[in-house]
Amino acid sequence: MLMVYYFYVIRQEKAGNSILFFDKEREMRKMRFPYVALLIVTAAAMLLAACAPAATVAPTQPPAPTQAPAATQAPAATAVPPTATPPPDPICTLIAGAPTVKAGDLGSADNPIVMAFVPSGEAGKIATASTKIADCLNKMTGLAYKVQTGTSYAAAIEAMGANKAQIGFLNTFSILIAEAKYGVIPALVNIRNYTTNNLDPDKALGGKAEPFYKGQFIASVASGIKTLADLKGKTFCFVDPNSTSGYIIPRILLKANGIDPDKDLKQTVNAGSHPNVAIGVYKGQCDAGATFIDVLTDKASNLQGQFADIADKVQVFYVTDRIPNDGVQYVKTFDPKLQDLTTNALLAMAQDPGGKAILASLYTINAFQKIDPAFYDDFNNILKKAGVDASSLVK
């Protein structure tokens, strides 16, 4: 700007206007003063800013302390059931004076003695226990034994009738039929710690060793069945036509109470075993059924282990009279010496803790007792009076 002004003055001097020069200079000074003042003020401000102490920063507040999380409650300890102690191995010591047999003779490795078992319980358990019995008898007698489990009660009877089995572990009514049809010889009766229930008039005998048992009628709680009369028009589970407490006795009782099982029941089912009857009622496949006392709590059947609420959904509503226990029988052609040897071996096995455990797992057998061949005659006569004659079923 000053340069512009001087060019202007020079031009004016050349024009001879010298008075105007001084006037313009005075104006120039007036105009220059504000700019100089502004420059001075700005410089002073910058100097003061440079020398001023640094601004004080307000201290940062520390963060609020973090709240510790609430202590986690440890889950309740799960109760661990005690580990069951496995039963000891059976002691199967060779019996002194045990006879020897020649190759090919009954009892030799190539011609073993066959034992027939009825399918009254869980098939796998029967197969396992019966095989262990045969193994122990092999060691105790020096002979060879083999097992055969019938597909039905009748199949076991017929195996003995055809001499395909020399020893039977038959149920009570099958014994009567086999006696009448084939002359089989009862040798041992199974002794069990008597099992009872709340409806049983003999419940004071509970836990005592007895050669008899009882049957029971069971029903689904949801069915509303309380008496035998309530069974009319209902679906009913039997065990097998040759089952004593699961077929024969229940049919006698139904007829005695005015119920024809062939006409008055909506439907009947042969479930094949006592546990199967209880399972059928539990699952609603049958409204009611008949079994031995007490399949619901029987250790060998172990239904409560499979169905924890079975006792809540299935109830007992009727109990039968006493029934002789099942046992061990021989065909009449079986060598008496081998009969005695087998009988003594089974009695010894029932005295050994390991052997006792095997028998208990088979048919809940706690012991054996020698019996007279006529042991079942009284019961057979009771059945005849009720209109059931085992000999009439022989074909």
Taking 80 as the threshold, does the pLDDT of residue 60 lie above it? no
* Better-predicted residue by pLDDT, 347 or 38: 347
Residue 104 lies in a domain: no
Residue 49 lies in a domain: no
Report yes or no on 190 lying in a domain: yes
Do 217 and 303 share a domain, yes or no?
yes
3-state secondary structure of 101: coil
pLDDT at position 9 over 70? no
Same domain, 316 and 341: no
Question: Is residue 333, in this structure, part of any structural domain at all?
Answer: yes
333 shares a domain with 270: no
Specify the pLDDT at position 34. Answer: 46
- Residue-wise pLDDT tens digits, 238-281: 999 999 999 999 999 999 999 999 999 999 999 999 999 999 99
313 with 331: CB under 8 angstroms? Answer: no
Q: Check whether residue 183 and residue 219 sit in a common domain.
A: no
Query: β-strands 267-270, 212-220: how paired?
Result: unpaired
Q: What is the pLDDT of residue 184?
A: 98
Pair 127, 30 in one domain: no
Residue with tokens 């609420």: 309
* Domain contains 261: yes
Q: Write down the mean pLDDT value for the chain.
A: 85
Question: What gap in Å lies between CA 116 and CA 240, rounded to an integer?
Answer: 17
Average pLDDT over residues 302-324: 96
Residue 26 has pLDDT above 80, yes or no: no
Percentage of the chain surpassing pLDDT 90? 72
**Would the pLDDT of 75 be above 80?**
no
CATH number for the domain harbouring residue 380: 3.40.190.10
DSSP code, position 56: P
379 has pLDDT over 80: yes
Instruction: Report the pLDDT averaged over residues 340-348.
Output: 98
List 372's β-bridge partners, or say none. none
Number of domains in the chain: 3
DSSP letter at 104? T
pLDDT in tens, 314-330: 999 999 999 999 999 99
pLDDT of 71 above 80:
no
Terminal CA-CA length for the chain: 147
pLDDT for the residue 372: 97
- 82: pLDDT strictly greater than 80: no
Asked if the model's pLDDT at residue 213 lies above 70, the reply is yes
Cα(172)–Cα(377) distance, rounded to whole angstroms? 11
Same domain, residue pair 223 and 317: yes
Kindly state whether residues 342 and 269 are assigned to the same domain: no
Residues 219 and 304 both lie in one domain: yes
Lowest mean pLDDT among 4-13, 41-50, 65-74: 4-13
Residue 132: strand, helix, or coil: helix
- At residue 183, does pLDDT exceed 60? yes
pTM of the model: 0.76
The confidence score (pLDDT) of residue 18 equals 41
Same domain, 283 and 367: no
* Residue at 148 is within a domain: yes
Q: Where is pLDDT greater, at 54 or 160?
A: 160
Handedness of CA 179, 184, 188, 191 (dihedral sign): negative
Give yes or no for a contact between 288 and 218, defined as CB atoms under 8 angstroms apart.
yes
**pLDDT tier at 394 (50, 70, 90 boundaries)?**
low
Are 306 and 228 within one domain? yes
Angle, vertex CA 271, rays to CA 276 and CA 253, nearest 5: 100
Is residue 389 included in any domain, yes or no? yes
Angle at 192 between CA 187 and CA 193, to 5 degrees: 155
Which residue range forms the structural domain that includes residue 138?
113-195+328-393
Q: Closest by alpha carbon to 380, among 369, 367, 392, 362?
A: 392
Query: Is 31 part of any domain?
Result: yes
Q: How far lies 137's CA from each of 2, 19, 141, 184, 213, in Å?
A: 139, 157, 6, 21, 27
Same domain, 332 and 309: no
Residues 260, 296: one domain? Answer: yes
Quote the pLDDT of residue 204. 97
Listed residues 308, 324, 340: the one ending a domain: 324
Instruction: Kindly tell me if the per-residue pLDDT of 8 is higher than 60.
Output: no
